[in-house]
Structure 1
Amino acid sequence: MATIEVRAAVYRGDNGDRLGIEQLQLADPEHGEVRVRVRAAGVCGSDRHVIDGEWQVPLPAVMGHEAAGVVEAIGAGVRELAVGDHVIIAWHQACQRCAECTGGKPWACTRVRSNDSQLPDGTTRWHTADGAAAWPYLAVGAMSERIVVPDFAAIRVDPRVPFDVASLIGCSVGTGYGAVVNNARVVAGESAVVVGAGGVGMSIISSLRLAGASPIIAVDVSEAKLAEAKRAGATHGLIGGADLAERVAELTGGGADAAFEAIGRVATMEQLPGLIRPGGRAVFVGLPPEGQELRIDGLQLAYDGKTLIGSNYGGLVPARDFPRVAQAYLAGELPLDELISTRVPLEEVNEAFDAMRRGERTRTVIVFDEDDTAGAAN
């Protein structure tokens, strides 16, 4: 099978939390697959969980799962995409056949292999220079010049959407939007609180503003991030602390209608039910390290009729929801440019993760061409 050589950020697990920029061999797309030239890739906290040793994946791993780019080759049987199409990549690559998929809930697919960094057939198209298999994280491997994915995971997008913005729709923005629209089903006039003003938290805040929620309370430990959250649509910003529930209750008249945790820390996840009013919804969007357990007062939960919701990929149906988010951006309803704090080349990927660990930046995006920046139609 023919292959091409690509540069990629690879995690091998033998050099601490450092990624190496390596030359890999990428095979041509097979039946039902497409090759995409990546133009932008987001730096997400899920990748950090892996390279910090909190989640286990097959190694060596081609990191990254937020990607947007251009289709440059198609395999046999691909009918809905053409060379030159601008696409956003969906990392949760559902099987398309199980009861959950055919019932309109691909995010709940029971046969998904992308969580194990495998393409639907259980294999990979990446290999190292010595011929060993390399595994694309979440079956994407976005931090690579080119990727091969199933055709149904490449969602066509209006070419007016800049690649850096489009890449975030594939995970952080899409997840935040889905948590509000699909999971919590927030309606105009409902109150909401968002714990964590990072990339996903900011996406939740922007989507809450789009939904007409009020008040929208952002919670973080960084005054700078709270200021950014207010620009994104938050009406109030609070520094987290032990008395957070009392302060939220005061601002909302008894607790928020919907609360979102966008960090993945056990301590803040355990706080979430206490931030909502009786009958409210608590949505767990952030992902904690493996094996973590929560302590929640079950009696109070039942007595107050509160609902706890686990948000897997925001309950997204990518083919439906990605274009909706893109159109909202183009209409000026979702100011997604504001979510991107930094753009870097692939060679600066380790510095991007270091900044994330320090709590700096809202979202860093790796760009593979100098003109791949927000506000430019490419």
Structure 2
Amino acid sequence: MTAATEMVWLGEDRFDAHRVDLPELRPGEVLVRVLVAGICGSDRHTVLGHRDAPCPSVLGHESVGEVVAVGPCAPDAPVPTDVCGGGLQIGDRVVWSVTVACGHCDRCRAGITAKCRHLRKVGHERVDSGWPLSGGYASHMLLPVGTAITRVPDGLGNRAASLASCAGGTAVAAIEAATRMLGRADLSGLDVLVVGAGGLGTIATAAAVAIGGAVAVSDLSAERLGTACRFGARVHDSESDADERFDVALEFSGTPSGVRSALAGLRLGGVMVLVGAVSPIGEVAFNPEHVVRDHLTITGVHNYEPRHLVRAVELLARDPLWEELVETPLPLTQLHDALLEPAADPRVLRRTVAADAQS
């Protein structure tokens, strides 16, 4: 194959299928065939006009793929490897980071590659940016030097694996932020509130339970709450359980009411991690005296580091349930419907598309 198909976003809810030549790889680059691309909520926000994004572009940043080519060897050029340092081979199934970092700036040297000063992002670049095949809503993607790549184990299906590269990595990063603020290695013996049981919240629920947390989940959807409970959580009702207090509150709903309920639910010395507000939600009022007197800590997480991607894959590989929570892919040409129409089953965490899916 010498050409690829990509769905170019033209603004609002308009897309156009383009055929483009496969690029000639430079040293250190990797070309993958996209097996499954997930529909992340942030792409829905973009298409609906709730968040700014470069346009025209190829959206999609939550994917799994198969390595079909690697860049040539060259003196002083990086050899394509996974996060753990193993050389990548044609035929490897892989997931990759949303962010592409330079690796050299002060932020990268400090270990904050997600906020690299020269950051590029999968599914967030204009088609004329000089990075061809930069988004997941395509048959192929080019992964530049600076992309964190990790292999997918044989027991993890493509649909479940696609969760790792955005929702999975971010959820794991949120859990790490909470434990770091508490000065702990795990959550054993602690009460954890998860606000919002979409893809991020459900993965965070499973991750928190896996390291000992007693997790309660709040969401408006009974079906989503039922799914979260399958991973060891219980339901938290913001009205009947209003007096309950938690050591950790993880906010994934991205709503003012969600932020307020997460903060109100903390006990003395508690930690709140904000994750869901990736588009403007307006100002949220709070009483600073509450934070001061109760020794509360509030932090935010946006994107993640390579180690979080690896841990997300490990977490997803532990339970076959994840595969059934991701919808069978629609054809790439039905991207518009996949983005704007809800899944028929409300328990589904992600809709997906794939270039080789059958109508």
TM-score category of the 2 structures, normalised to the smaller one: 0.7 to 0.9
CA distance change for structure 1 residues 358 and 336 in 2, over 3 Å: closer, same or farther? closer
Aligned length in residues: 339
- Contact 2:98–2:121, Cα closer than 8 Å, also in 1: yes
CA distance in 2, matches of 1:170, 1:263: 19
Aligned pair partner of 2:301 in 308, 311, 323: 311
CA distance change for structure 1 residues 98 and 358 in 2, over 3 Å: closer, same or farther? farther
CA distance in 2, matches of 1:200, 1:305: 27
| Post-superposition CA distance 1:296-338 (Å, at most 9, x none) | 222221221111110112xx321x33333333444x3685335
1:262 paired residue number:
252
1:272 paired residue number:
262
| Corresponding position: 1:166 with 2:164 | no
For 2:107, give the aligned amino acid. E
| Post-superposition CA distance 1:97-138 (Å, at most 9, x none) | 12222222222323313289349x963225xxxxxxxxx4xx
2:84 paired residue number:
none
For 1:304, give the aligned amino acid. D
CA distance change for structure 1 residues 64 and 207 in 2, over 3 Å: closer, same or farther? same
For 1:50, give the aligned amino acid. T
How large is the Cα RMSD of the aligned pairs?
Answer: 2.9
For 1:180, give the aligned amino acid. I
For 1:9, give the aligned amino acid. M
1:93 paired residue number:
100
What is the TM-score normalised by the length of structure 2? 0.84
Aligned-pair CA distance for 1:232: 2.4
- Contact 2:58–2:123, Cα closer than 8 Å, also in 1: no
- Contact 2:59–2:123, Cα closer than 8 Å, also in 1: no
SS of the residue 1:340 aligns to: coil
1:109 paired residue number:
116
Uncovered stretches (5+) of structure 2, i.e. residues with no partner: 82-87, 181-185
SS of the residue 1:299 aligns to: helix
1:21-36 to structure 2, matched below 5 A, reads 21-36=17-32
SS of the residue 2:223 aligns to: helix
1:130 paired residue number:
none
CA distance in 2, matches of 1:73, 1:267: 47
SS of the residue 1:60 aligns to: coil
1:1-378 to structure 2, matched below 5 A, reads 4-13=2-11, 16-76=12-72, 77-79=77-79, 80=81, 81-114=88-121, 117-118=124-125, 123-126=130-133, 136=134, 141-160=135-154, 161-185=156-180, 186-214=186-214, 216-238=215-237, 243=239, 247-250=241-244, 255-290=245-280, 292-313=282-303, 316-318=304-306, 320-330=307-317, 332=318, 335-356=321-342, 360=346, 361-369=348-356
Aligned-pair CA distance for 1:287: 2.7
SS of the residue 1:225 aligns to: helix
CA distance change for structure 1 residues 4 and 265 in 2, over 3 Å: closer, same or farther? farther
CA distance in 2, matches of 1:305, 1:347: 52
CA distance in 2, matches of 1:177, 1:335: 18
What is the TM-score normalised by the length of structure 1? 0.80
For 2:99, give the aligned amino acid. H
| Post-superposition CA distance 1:131-162 (Å, at most 9, x none) | xxxxx4xxxx1111001121441513144132
- Contact 1:203–1:339, Cα closer than 8 Å, also in 2: no
- Contact 1:87–1:154, Cα closer than 8 Å, also in 2: no
SS of the residue 2:276 aligns to: coil
CA distance in 1, matches of 2:230, 2:39: 22
